Structure 1
Amino acid sequence: MPPPTIIPPMIILQANQLSHSFGASDLFEDVSVLLHAKERVGLVGPNGIGKTTLLLILAGLLEPTAGSVSRQENLTLGYLRQEAVLTFAGQDNTVNEEMLSVFADLRGQEARLRELEAKMEAGEMGEAVLEEYGRIQTLYEHGGGYEYQNDIKRVLQGLGFEPDQWDMPLEHLSGGQKTRILLGRLLLEKPDLLILDEPTNHLDTSAIEWLEKTLRTWEGSLLIVSHDRYFLDRVVNQVWAMNQHGVKSYKGNYSTYVQQRDVEWQHEETLFANEMARLEAELEF
């Protein structure tokens, strides 16, 4: 077995010469990309070009026909599919319980702190009890134990869930609501790389504005597919333009990308016109 690929620290994901086919039909080929820490990337391209397929490959959920993907060691990754119905199949959690599941470690620490407090109230003030209490309290505080309940409320309200919906079972939610719940859970998990496939599809204007504000201050990296150019303008700082023969990277938001692309097209048209003029001149000569 060959040794694992070593990735420079600032590069969290690297794809080399990816190709993917369905039977005899080539979807795309020769896709190579680099994703650095804290980059917020918008992936754009024609419908049917394979953007969702590329996201699945980069997330490690689908094997490419050819090429390779390397990820930074211990990289945490969250992926929002366009539809999240299957994500919650068979689960009987409520909306709030699903959000609380993100913080299972903190809730376990809470329970242990209550147990230790009960011991101390009963007069068990031994050194071991005090040391364990201090250690767990420090972990709890540094892990956000005093903030996570407010974080859950902020995310649910931001994504348009009213307080009277928080105790609803997930099985009673629509497909769009389940997608919003999955998005909320991913935002609370705070992965190093968050991949979002059409995140605004089931959001109203207020929720979209809240999501834009949240993602602009995201501490990790983002990779987003969206047909909402205004959303991309407000969130991303880099654009990957995809066609059947590869991906080209542009610095800046969506509008900046369009300007750069139009300049390139104009340059290509000028070169083509000059070449045609040269050939015509040679023929006349």
Structure 2
Amino acid sequence: MILASATGLGRQYTGDPIFTDLAFEIRAGERIGLVGPNGAGKTTLMRLLAGIDEPDMGRLTIRPGVRVSLLRQQPDFEPGQTLFEVARSGLASLLELQDELEEAAREMAEAEDDDDRDRASRRYADLQDRLEHQDAYAIEHRVEEVVTGLGFKPGEFHRPSGTFSGGQQSRLMLARLLLESPDLMLLDEPTNHLDVATVTWLEGYLSRQPTGMVIVSHDRYFLDATVTKIWELFQGHVASYPGNYSQYWKLREERAKVLERKAEKQQEQAAHLQKFIDKFSAGTRATQAKDKAKKLEKLMSEDIELMRDISGPPMGFEEVRRSGDIVVEAKDLSKSYDTPLFTRLNLQVQRGQCVGIMGPNGAGKSTLIKTLIGRVKPDEGEVKLGHKVTVGYYDQGLESLPADTPVLKAVWPDDDPSWLMQDVRDLLGKFGLSGDLALQTVGKLSGGEKGKAALARLAATGANLLVMDEPTNHLDIWSCDALERSVREFEGTVLVVSHDRYFLNQVADRLIVVDGGRARVVEGDYEVYRRMVDQESASKERAKGGRDGGAVADGSPPPKPAADGKAKKKKKYPFRKAGEIEREIAQVEAEMGELEHALGLSETWKDADLARRSQERYDELAGAIKALYEHWEEALEYNA
């Protein structure tokens, strides 16, 4: 069922249109990831879908009866309402049905004749069926499941919503939307303010929902786990790709290569034809030259549109003064507030390392980095910075950028007469802030623009120890990529708090995981940590199994080893002649070549279903060809 569709859709404020001639369909159950650089119009499109704004061009149709809801960035509930009441209000339609059921029950009890009683009874039965169908008799449990999954504790359920922090209120808005469960759910950066455990829970929850979704997110792990289709919005146009984020990126790169090869082949053919025309345009072969000229004209009329290149700002941190080999050293470091945050932490950070800090919200990550750089005093132990270490700090709340200050002045290094206005403008340009943006006040910038301004200010400090607290919040995917590259190329040292797992995999040499009053040092990135946690969980399960009698999970006894202690090698594939397999390999490779050609055609990508089927078939054949080559090698071995 089509929930929403658009033809020729466009929106324009002042100057050039944000986008024009968008055409798409959103079907029930689809989970669409909307990606594109900052300023491409993602939020504008979400507001059009939500009915908050009206299009300036084209037509947007929402199927009658379809409920559409957008995740709001600002709280719109009464401060006196408790957390549980706000979340429960997402089920307002079910609560109204319950009120109607009670009213129908009263009508049955007060009916004065059989006809009135029958009408009330039929209404009661209909309402009861609807409530049972929507699982309305487990409302309290559903609310508890969602608010607990989003990181709230039972002791906070009846706390006034106005007493929570901004990040917690954003989570509460998300809880209300999840419980509302509209037919089309619009999620704009839903993972902001969520820790890794909560994002993981959200991935599982969304994947189980039958509703249609459009999701804007810079979290590439999250997009991989949740979406079934990607829309790329760029330069006023939208391109659709089947699959999750990784599949989209793979398809995009493959399609770009195919188009480049086609363009190169076209140019080679054109050069060959032109050479023939130049050589034989006059003389005995002039007729053939004219024929070649027609072929050349036809060839050049075929417009091969190369892939639009999307790139983030160059960013980059300049060369800095070399520090000592040991940048930060902590001994027996402990800190508590109401409860212990970390206890007896011993740590050495070497020059050139990037150390990622992760853990649940409220675990003490920000407190830890502030303690490591001397901004917060530890309760016990000591910490010291190394020789010639200078610290640059990017705070999560971006408080280093006063809202009423022009961007140019906010980024300008303090008390440094060597900087000129053009130097600051050039620096802002490197971080994607050019032209009039440099003269605007910070308060008028978008979240992504503020983040880039704060990164530019950090670069301007010339510090050799960069300390960043959630720097990828509000950045688009391509800006995250630019920041990752900048961190990897930086010659100094980096401490970074982040819940962005992809980002940590790209930049971190080590992790400090803060959780449950403990700071655990992990030598490696997020994937190393995840595998470590999985192995520890498996070890606990095996230990539990041993205590339960040594049986494996399915209740069967463990397998017996071979008599000689070695596993007997078995044939993996049934017998076939090597020549037969070679012929099948040739057939499969030919079909893959045809599909590769089709995936390079713009017509294929205008039909999302055809593109999806073509790519799925290509992936299926890619798996088959691998198995065929293995079978062929086995056939050669056994037939020898």
Which TM-score tier does this pair reach, normalised by the shorter chain? 0.7 to 0.9
1:270 to 261, 267, 271: 261
Match of 1:233 among 224, 233, 236: 224
- How big is each residue's C-alpha offset from its partner over 1:235-277, in whole Å with a ceiling of 9 and x where there is no partner? 1111111112311111111111111111111122223333444
Query: 1:91-170 residue pairs with structure 2 within 5 A?
Result: 91-101=79-89, 102-103=91-92, 104-105=95-96, 108=99, 128=117, 131=121, 135=125, 140-170=131-161
Secondary structure of residue in 2 paired with 1:25: coil
Larger deviation, residues 259-268 vs 273-282: 273-282
What does 1:133-212 correspond to in 2, within 5 Å?
135=125, 140-212=131-203
Q: In percent, how many aligned pairs have the same letter? A: 36
SS in 2 for 1:146: helix
**SS state of the match for residue 12, structure 2?**
strand
Deviation at 1:12, TM superposition (A): 1.0
C-alpha distance in 2 between matches for 1:263 and 1:224: 24
Distance 1:74 1:271, change over 3 A: same
Give, as a single letter, the amino acid of the residue that structure 2 aligns with 1:190. Answer: S
Cα pair distance change 1:114/1:235, threshold 3 Å? same
Distance 1:134 1:271, change over 3 A: closer
Q: 1:11 aligns with which of 2, 13, 23?
A: 2
1:67 shift after superposition? 1.2
> Aligned partners of 1:247 and 1:15: how far apart in 2?
12
8 Å Cα contact 2:31/2:227 also seen in 1: yes
1:49: how far off?
Answer: 0.5
CA contact (8 A) 2:66 2:184 kept: yes
Deviation at 1:152, TM superposition (A): 0.6
Alignment correspondent of 1:52: 43
Deviations 1:98-139 (A, max 9, x none): 1232243255368669989xx9xxxxxx98599599646666
Structure 1 position 84 matched with structure 2 position 74: yes
Moved more, 96-105 or 227-236: 96-105
Q: TM-score, normalised by structure 2?
A: 0.39
Higher relative contact order (CA 8 A, sep 6+): 1
Distance 2:31 2:129 in 1: 33
* More moved, 199-208 vs 165-174: 165-174
Contact 2:105 2:124 in 1 (8 A): no
TM-score of the aligned structures, taking structure 1 as reference length: 0.83
Offset from partner CA, 1:155-198 (integer Å, 9 cap, x none): 01000011121112122222221211111111111111111001
**1:223 to 2:211 alignment:** no
| Secondary structure of the corresponding residue to residue 17 of structure 2 | strand
Q: CA RMSD in A?
A: 2.9
Distance apart, 1:205 and its partner CA? 0.8
Cα gap change, 1:155 to 1:25, in 2 (>3 Å): same
Q: Distance in 1 between matches of 2:162 and 2:243?
A: 41
Give yes or no for contact 1:106–1:143 (8 Å, CA) kept in 2: no
Give the partner amino acid of 2:33: G
> In the aligned structure 1, how far is the partner of 2:168 from the partner of 2:10?
34
List alignment gaps of at least 5 residues for structure 2: 280-640
Decide whether aligned partners of structure 1 residues 110 and 210 sit closer, same or farther in structure 2, where only a CA change above 3 A counts: farther
Matching of residue 43 in structure 1 with residue 34 in structure 2: yes
Displacement of 1:203 in angstroms is 0.8
Report if aligned partners of 2:101, 2:124 keep a CA contact under 8 Å in 1: no
Instruction: Report the Cα distance in structure 1 between the residues aligned to 2:186 and 2:81, rounded to whole angstroms.
Output: 24
Q: 1:274 to 1:231 in 2, by over 3 A?
A: same
Q: Secondary structure at the match of 1:49?
A: coil
Cα distance in 2, alignment partners of residues 224 and 30 from structure 1:
21
Q: How far apart, CA to CA, are the structure 1 residues paired with 2:128 and 2:223?
A: 41
The one-letter code matched in structure 2 to 1:20 is R
> Which SS does the other structure have where 2:240 is aligned?
strand
Q: Which runs of 5+ in 1 are unaligned?
A: 1-9, 120-125
Name the larger-Rg structure.
2
The whole-number CA distance in structure 2 between the counterparts of 1:218 and 1:278 is 52
Between stretches 29-38 and 17-26, larger displacement belongs to 17-26
Which position in structure 2 is the counterpart of 1:63? 54
| Secondary structure of 1:26's aligned partner | coil
Residues 108 and 36 of structure 1, relative CA distance in 2, 3 Å threshold: same
